[in-house]
Chains A and B, each alone.
Chain A
Amino acid sequence: MSVPIDLSALPSARVAASGRRGTSLLIHAAVFIVGLVVICAALGPAIAPGSPDTQRLLVGDALPSAEFWAGTDLLGRDVLSRTIVGARTALVGPIIVAAGAFAIATLLGLLAGYLGGLVDTVVMRWVDFMFALPGPLVAIVVVGVVGGGYWTAVAVLVALFVPADTRIVRSAVLAQRPLPYIEAARTLGISKARILFVHILPNVLPIVCAYVVLDFAFALVNLAGLSFLGLGVQPGTADWGRMLFENRNILFSNPVALLLPALMIILTAGSINLIGDWVYERFSAQ
């Protein structure tokens, strides 16, 4: 009598297994959505059914029709075209924020984690200070006072995102630093710069990349929020956050004008978050 134990038959194992399959489906959906947004951002006006800026004051705010699939806003502009073209500001700003925060945080985190001492103290106290600031409020005040709209907002977000990333890079570096391969390099007399950038950096990069993806999602939501408050893009620009602001009064005459950009923000940010989590899990499993 031979009884094989098939652990996948146990209820808990089955839940876990189906959970995993569910995740991979979600990942596919997330990648699809992000891919769609990227195509819209890249091609924009070329694939939009009409011009995003043409005003039809006589049409005004109308419900979706055969001509305008997502209806029109107060000025009679095509909501669908505006949403497609709006993908550009939805992607470009967050990409710059994520890349900028990544570059600065990696440098600061590597130096603080490896050199320790005074450098570490200065960098980490600055990080603590930044954590104590109410981020969104700082963004609103700075953009409001300095002006400059979208690009100022992007710059402020970079500054606000650097501290958290710095902490992550630093702790990853601290985990690598006592490992024998680093100590062997030190014993051989290899320069600090080479140890930092040739030995440590490639080994902390995967985890940092995973966090950068998450930065992107946060930046998307934050920039949309600032645009909604009128602090982001110039009035009239096709931008999801701005559309929320402009179309909030026509919620009952053409709800799609408000809900479509809102849905896009939620879907894009959510998808990116999922992808970030997935990337992180893949790397931490290795």
Chain B
Amino acid sequence: MIDSAQPAAGEFLLDVRRLSISAVTGGERRAITVGTDLRVAKGETVGIVGESGSGKSMTAKAIVRLLPANVSASGEVHFGGRDLLALTERELREIRGSRISLLFQDPFTMLNPLLKCGMHIEEVLPRTPVLRTGRQRMAEVQRRLAEVGITDADVAHRLPFQLSGGMGQRVALAAALARDPELLIADEPSTALDVTTQAEILKLLARVQGQRGMSMILITHDLRLAFSSCDRVYVLYAGSLLEVGGAGEIEREPFHPYTLGLLLSEPPAAKRVPRLVAIRGSVASADAVAGSCSFAPRCDWARESCRSARPPLAETEPGRFTACIRQGEIRAEMQAMRRRAFENGAAAAMVASADTAPLVRVTGVGKIFEGRRGRHVHALKEASIEIHPGESVGLVGESGSGKTTLGRCVVGLETPSAGAIEIGGITAADYAALSPAQRAQVRRTVQMVFQDPYSTLNPRHSVRRCLLEALRMAGGTAPTDEQVVALLREVGLPETYIGRRPAALSGGERQRVAIARALAVRPKILVCDEPVSSLDVSVQAQILNLFKRLQEQLGLSYLFITHDLAVVRQVAERVYVLYLGEIVEHGATEEVMTRPQHPYTRRLLESIPHSAAAGAP
């Protein structure tokens, strides 16, 4: 890696100027990015950080001209002295894949499912005299696989579906590197992977990049990750660059309110804070904020001057650019805000008194799924948990750990194969065996919030219809619009939302409606299955704060299922760590996260991205 200082002009391998991307849908032109400038020096790692709709992935695709048919780009993309946008498709093919290579989020959509892993690498190896015979090429494939940390010679002969996610991503990386590119564009290369695998892949990328002296563009939504693995960072929001600078410098002191907001809304893994600092509203589209600062609608410091014209990216310090025209004026305020958030102190976790009877008691629950060809899959083995009234319990594990299965057993979406579940004194392992009255009572005790905000609401039902239906299940009198409005207020939505359809809501708003739906029956406990992991970082903090507020106001209990330890630290008082269907560790969150006992818990904690200046104001 090179020094984070700005390299002198002329050293840039890639020089993107005024790159504007727009899409045409239904005869309407819609801006995706407006005039992005981006430079990558030889051997440098540059991060493009942005939330959904920021245009970060489209920027990467525009550089190599792999845009979808209805999307077009204008501007200049200079690479090795040539403007890629001006080349013919044939000329471009000499560069794409051999000098610039791409790595995407999901390895299994990148790899041909019918092609053995070795073949993916072999087919892109250059046809040089040294690599003429089949034996020579196979030896080279093995050497390439070894470079990405695959020493098992058998992997080359396996099909992609026989690999784990991390292994698949390694093979995809080896294939991307087969032509020895000068620039690798990695688009969320670790997002689809498990937490522990994520860290391995990022470490691998950094190692390979360093050894080869290759340049890299890392596209991510995760600011923390960008700080820990990039030299310079570009912060993109709603199609415009808001801040550019060295990773260390931005982390030490962000110059743009958006960057600061992103940084603060990221739940800290190191301690529990009483409230996260959330950015209000939701991510805007590039067109909605055209002709003004794109962040102005969500910015606390926005003035008239911010809304009258789009502020240009200006160099305020050597190598540091910000699009905030008020940066000079508000610098002290921003620093103070950061300091306040940092000094916000660790909030003491509420500890439920152990003498109350548990609300939910899960004892020795196991779940066996019928797999293919009569094979049994043990999703869950002898798991036991307890949740007391008013207590928030975290359930942490990676994919395949059985955490979701356990949550679904509690709400009756799955029936356990073994063990007992007791909810509010009613034995509820098998919901179908309950009497209708008992079943109704259990359902009024436990409700669930799901992960995907886009399918959690019936697309054909309005907010009113959705919540009225849920209120009707609470029993009693016929529900009224007033009750619906009260529910909306409870989850922080204005009453004007009552007539909206899900399509007119953002991801965060949909999740709020889903929470309102669950609250309609006045439950005592919510089972939340990764409720924030599909949301933008700036919205995550809002929803986590909402969960905290509801817990205080309504005395709710939570079973919070997540892979994200930082999230658990913020919301859970006690935590259970699940590994391969078994609970390997449990205890108070603070205790488990500061003094992990089980090696798996330690590995989970170590995989949280750390940068040099972790958490320092």
Contacts and interface: CB of A to CB of B under 8 A. Distances in A.
Given A2-B75, A7-B69, A187 B448 contact: yes
Contacts of A282: none
B69 A188 contact: no
Contacts of B494: none
Majority secondary structure, A binding face: helix
Interface string B498-530: 000000000000000010011011000000000
A179 interface: yes
A13 interface: yes
Contacts of A10: 89
Contacts of B439: 189
B83 A180 contact: no
Interface in A150-198: 179-181, 183-190
A80 B521 CA distance: 67
B226 interface: no
A117 to B, nearest CB: 12
B443 interface: yes
B74 A188 contact: no
Nearest to B517: A184
Contacts of A180: 450-452, 455-456, 514
A188 B468 CA distance: 12
Contact of A5 (B65, B412, B461): B65
Contact of A184 (B69, B89, B448, B460): B448
Contacts of A249: none
Contacts of B357: none
B521 A181 contact: no
A145 to B, nearest CB: 45
Nearest to B503: A286
B18 A2 contact: yes
Interface string B580-611: 00000000000000000000000000000000
A10 B518 CA distance: 51
A184 B450 contact: yes
Interface string B70-83: 11111110000001
Contacts of B517: 184, 188
Contacts of B520: 188
A189 B458 contact: no
Interface residues of A, number: 24
A7 B62 CA distance: 12
Interface string A1-14: 11111110010010
Contacts of A6: 72
B443 A188 contact: yes
Contact of B518 (A2, A16, A181, A184): A184
B83 A179 contact: no
B67 interface: yes
B410 to A, nearest CB: 10
B491 to A, nearest CB: 15
Given A5-B74, A190-B469, A181 B86 contact: no
B561 to A, nearest CB: 13
A181 B456 contact: yes
A256 B337 CA distance: 87
Contacts, number: 83
A234 interface: no
Nearest to A183: B413
A63 to B, nearest CB: 50
Nearest to A4: B74
A20 to B, nearest CB: 11
A188 B473 contact: yes
A242 to B, nearest CB: 44
Interface in B456-492: 456-461, 469-470, 473
Contacts of B440: 189
Nearest to A194: B469
A7 B65 CA distance: 10
B401 interface: no
Nearest to A180: B450
Given A3-B74, A199-B458, A203-B460, A190 B473 contact: yes
Interface in B46-80: 65, 67, 69-76
B265 interface: no
Q: Which of A16, A179, A199 has the most CB of B within 10 A?
A: A179
A199 B86 CA distance: 51
Interface in A1-39: 1-7, 10, 13, 16
A184 B456 CA distance: 7
Contact of A16 (B67, B69, B71, B86): B69
Contact of B69 (A2, A13, A181, A183): A13
A120 to B, nearest CB: 15
A134 interface: no
A187 B412 contact: yes
A187 B413 contact: yes
Contacts of A236: none
B460 A202 contact: yes
Contacts of A3: 74, 76, 83, 85-86
A183 B459 contact: no
Nearest to B448: A187
A183 B83 contact: no
A194 to B, nearest CB: 8
Given A184-B448, A184-B517, A190-B469, A7 B443 contact: no
B460 A188 contact: no
A189 B439 CA distance: 8
Contacts of A179: 455
Contacts of B411: 187
B33 interface: no
Interface string A116-158: 0000000000000000000000000000000000000000000
A155 to B, nearest CB: 34
B447 A187 contact: yes
B443 A187 contact: yes
B560 to A, nearest CB: 17
A19 to B, nearest CB: 12
Contacts of B67: 5, 7
Contacts of B452: 180
A4 B514 CA distance: 44
B76 A2 contact: yes
A115 B572 CA distance: 37
Given A184-B517, A187-B412, A189-B473, A203 B76 contact: no
B456 A5 contact: no
A181 B457 contact: yes
A199 to B, nearest CB: 6
B18 A189 contact: no
Contacts of B461: 199
Contact of A186 (B413, B470, B518): B413
Contacts of A2: 18, 74-76
B413 A203 contact: no
Contacts of B89: 10
B458 A181 contact: yes
Contacts of B460: 202-203
Contacts of A183: 413, 448, 450
Interface string B425-444: 00000000000000110010
Given A2-B74, A183-B450, A203 B458 contact: yes
Contacts of B455: 179-181
B126 to A, nearest CB: 28
B339 to A, nearest CB: 40
Contacts of A4: 72-74
15 contacts: A2-B75, A4-B74, A5-B65, A7-B69, A13-B69, A180-B452, A181-B457, A183-B448, A183-B450, A184-B448, A186-B413, A188-B469, A188-B521, A199-B458, A202-B460
In the complex, the 5 A-B pairs of residues with the closest C-beta atoms, listed nearest first: A180-B450, A4-B74, A180-B456, A189-B443, A179-B455
Given A2-B76, A5-B74, A179-B455, 12 more contacts: A1-B83, A10-B89, A180-B456, A181-B456, A184-B514, A185-B458, A186-B412, A188-B517, A188-B520, A189-B473, A203-B458, A203-B460
